[in-house]
Structure 1
C-alpha cells in the first residue's frame, strides 16, 4: 500500500475531526477524534474494535476504559452536531430533498443496557428489545447519496420522553432552522400519513410528498372519497420506466387535484402510480402540478426515498450498529452520531468526486466495475478501511502537543 495514500486518508479524517470538535476542550477533541478514526478504520461501532484501531502503546483494556469513561458525558454532543451541520451547509441546494423515516436498533439479548424499550423489528415484524431512531437525511443533488441532517436515538423509557410525535417535531425544527429560509421537500412513507404531520409541514412553509394509506379520506370536488376509490378514477396516462432497489419497473402515472379536510382550501395533488405492487401507489403532495414533468419530478422525489433504506443498511451491515454494546444511552448516542457524521462526510466526498475519492473507491477491490454501480457508499467505506488497515501508527501523532513555557511562574 502506498504510504502517501495512508497519510492522505488519515489527514482527511483528522481534518474533518478537527472541524467537528471546534470549540470543545482538548480532552474531548481527542476523544471524538479517536472515535471517528477508530470507527473509520475498523468499520465498527464496538469500542473494543475502535480501541484496537488506535494502535496505542498501552494495554488494550486501558484504551477501552478511557473511551468508555469519556462516553458517559454527552453534554457536548449537540455542539458536535452543530459543527457537523456547518460542514455540510455549502452542499445544500436551493430545493433540497429531505427524506424522513424511522428505524430501530434491536438488542434481543441485552439485559443491562440503559433504558431498553420494546420496539418493532422492521425486518422480522416482531416486537423486540431495543431503541428507536428518527432520521432526516438529504439526498445529494447529483449522486443521490444520503447526508444525515438529524439522526436521534431515543427510548420510550427515558425519564423526559414525551411522545414519538414530539421526537419527530424536534427533527423538523432542527432541519427547518438549519435550512435558514430555504424551502425543502420532505419525503415520507405511509407511517407519516397523519393530519398532524401534514399540518406541521404546511405551517412551517415546506413541501411534502407522502405515501398515503388506504384508510385515508380526501376531498375531491367537495366530496369526501376514500383514497383507493379515488385512485380507480385514474388509470395512468404517463409512462415512466425506472429502477427501484435494483429492480426495473414500467410505471403508469396520473394525478388528481384534491384537498385534505384538515387543510381545507389548500390545493393538493394525489399522484397515482400503477406498476409498483398489486395495488396502485398513492402519493399526496402540496407541490403544484402544471405539466407531465411536474408529476414525474414528484414521483422521482419519492423514489429517492429508498436511499434512506440504503442508509439503514449501511449503518447495520457496514458499521455493525446492532452489535454495539454500551452501558449508558449517552455512549450509544455518541457512537450513533459519529457514525452518521462519517456517512455524511463520505457522501459529500462521493458527490465531489476528487482524485482521492477515486483512489479510495479503487482500493475497495470489489467484483463489480464502477460503471455498473449507482450507490458508492458501501465501496467507499470499505476502501477507507482497506487503506487504513495498513496503518500501524494510529492517529496519536496528529494530535497537537502543547509546549509549556520553560519560564517559572512566581505564583
Structure 2
C-alpha cells in the first residue's frame, strides 16, 4: 500500500476543509471534518460506527453526543449546503451543466422516525414509508461530477409540494453558483409550474418533455408527439452504454425544429430536439441552447441529457456503498444534516480526489479492477474509489482513551 498516495489523499481532504471551515464555527468545522472522515473510512451513515472511525480522547457515547449537538441544530443542514457550494463554486465554469433530479429513500421498517411519508420507490415502483429527496449535481465539460445539494423533504415538516422544492433548490443553487450554466431536468419536472419557471428564467436549459406537452409551432398549439412527426431525423448520434462489463453502442436518429412557448402573453423562442432509437420510442428535449446552428444544438442537447444516467448511478452508489437507507437518526433536522455531510463526503470522492482517481486504481495496492482492462478506468469508477479510500484511511490511530484505560488496567493487575 502506498504511504505517499495515502498522504496525498489526506492532503486533498484537508484542502477541501480549509475552504469549508471559513463558513463554520471551529466546533462545527471539527465535527463536520470528523464525521466526513468517519463516513469515508467506515462506509456508513450510522453515527455510532462513524464515531468509531475517528481519533478522539473521550468515550464513544460522549463523541456521538457531541455530534448530535451539532447535527440536530435548526437549519444546520442549509448552513452546510451553502458552505459546501461556496467551497466548490470555483470549479464550476461557464458552459458547464447542473442537473436537478428527484429521488427517494425507503425506510420500510422504521415506522417511528420523524417525518416519514408514503413515497414511491423509484427502483421497484411500489409505495412505502420513506422520504422524498431532491438532488442537484454539477457536471463539467470534462464530465467531472460534483454533488452540490441533496435535501430530504417531508410533507409533515413544511414541504408544500414537489414543485416548491424544485423551485427552492433552483433558487439556492442559482444564488451561489452565479454562472452561465445549462440546467438539465428529466420529464418528472415537466409540469406547468416548473416548466414555466425554467423557461421564464431566461437561462440555458434542457428539459425532457412528456408526449402530451403542448408547444407553439407555426402559430398553432400542438402536442410534441404531433410536432415530432414534422421533424426530419437527418442526423445520427451514438451513445455508449456499458452493461455487465460489455459495451453497447446505441444509435439515435436526431432532428430539431424551432418552436415557441407562451408564458403570460410573452413568447419564448426555443428548440425542440427529437431523438429516436432504432426499434425504440421517441425522446423530446425542449432546450434553450448556447449554440446557433441546428447541428450544434442537437449535439449539445444530446450530450447534456446523456448525463442523466450518471445521477441514477450516483443514487445507487450512496445507497449501496454507504447504506443510506439504513440511516438511524430520530430528528428530521438531524436526518437532513446527515445527508448534507454525506454530500460533502461524496464531493470529496467525486471531485476533490478526481486528479488521483487513476493512480488510486493502479497504485493503491487494493485490487478493484476485475479484468485489468482500460475501460475499467473510464466507467463509473466511484464504487472502486470508495473501496480504496476505506482501505487507505483504515490505518488511523485507534481511540486513545480506550488504549489508556487498557494500559491502566494492565498496570493495576
Question: Is this a same-fold pair by TM over 0.5?
Answer: yes
Residue aligned with 1:175, SS:
helix
* Displacement of 1:114: 0.6
Residues in 1 aligned to 2:52 and 2:338: alpha-carbon distance in whole angstroms: 16
Residues in 2 aligned to 1:93 and 1:139: alpha-carbon distance in whole angstroms: 10
Residues in 1 aligned to 2:50 and 2:309: alpha-carbon distance in whole angstroms: 30
**Corresponding position of 1:286:** 288
- Relative to structure 1, the CA distance from residue 24 to residue 185 in structure 2 (aligned partners, 3 Å threshold; closer, same or farther) is closer
2:236 pairs with 1:239: yes
The answer to whether the 8 Å contact 2:186/2:208 transfers is yes
**Corresponding position of 1:333:** 336
**Corresponding position of 2:408:** none
2:264 pairs with 1:266: no
Residues in 2 aligned to 1:198 and 1:210: alpha-carbon distance in whole angstroms: 8
* Displacement of 1:177: 1.4
Matching of residues 308-387 of structure 1 within 5 Å: 308-351=311-354, 353=355, 356-362=356-362, 363=364, 364-366=366-368, 367-369=370-372, 371-372=374-375, 373-387=378-392
Residues in 2 aligned to 1:130 and 1:270: alpha-carbon distance in whole angstroms: 36
Residue aligned with 1:335, SS:
helix
TM-score between both structures, scaled by the size of structure 1 = 0.87
Matching of residues 9-408 of structure 1 within 5 Å: 9-56=9-56, 59-142=59-142, 144-158=143-157, 160-180=158-178, 182-244=179-241, 246=243, 247-262=248-263, 265-275=267-277, 278-287=280-289, 289-351=292-354, 353=355, 356-362=356-362, 363=364, 364-366=366-368, 367-369=370-372, 371-372=374-375, 373-393=378-398
* Displacement of 1:368: 4.3
The answer for unaligned runs of 5 or more in structure 1 is 397-411
Pairwise CA RMSD: 2.4
- Relative to structure 1, the CA distance from residue 241 to residue 23 in structure 2 (aligned partners, 3 Å threshold; closer, same or farther) is closer
* Displacement of 1:224: 2.2
**Corresponding position of 1:406:** none
Residue aligned with 1:113, SS:
coil
* Displacement of 1:55: 4.5
Residue aligned with 1:266, SS:
strand
TM-score between both structures, scaled by the size of structure 2 = 0.87
* Displacement of 1:4: 4.1
Residues in 1 aligned to 2:120 and 2:144: alpha-carbon distance in whole angstroms: 27
Deviations 1:281-336 (A, max 9, x none): 11111226523132112111111122211221121112111111110111111211
* Displacement of 1:18: 4.0
The answer to whether the 8 Å contact 1:350/1:376 transfers is no
- Relative to structure 1, the CA distance from residue 220 to residue 394 in structure 2 (aligned partners, 3 Å threshold; closer, same or farther) is farther
* Displacement of 1:68: 3.3
Deviations 1:65-109 (A, max 9, x none): 433343322444333322222221221111121111111011011
Residue aligned with 1:93, SS:
coil
Q: How many corresponding residue pairs? A: 390
Residues in 1 aligned to 2:342 and 2:400: alpha-carbon distance in whole angstroms: 18
- Relative to structure 1, the CA distance from residue 88 to residue 216 in structure 2 (aligned partners, 3 Å threshold; closer, same or farther) is same
The answer for unaligned runs of 5 or more in structure 2 is 402-413
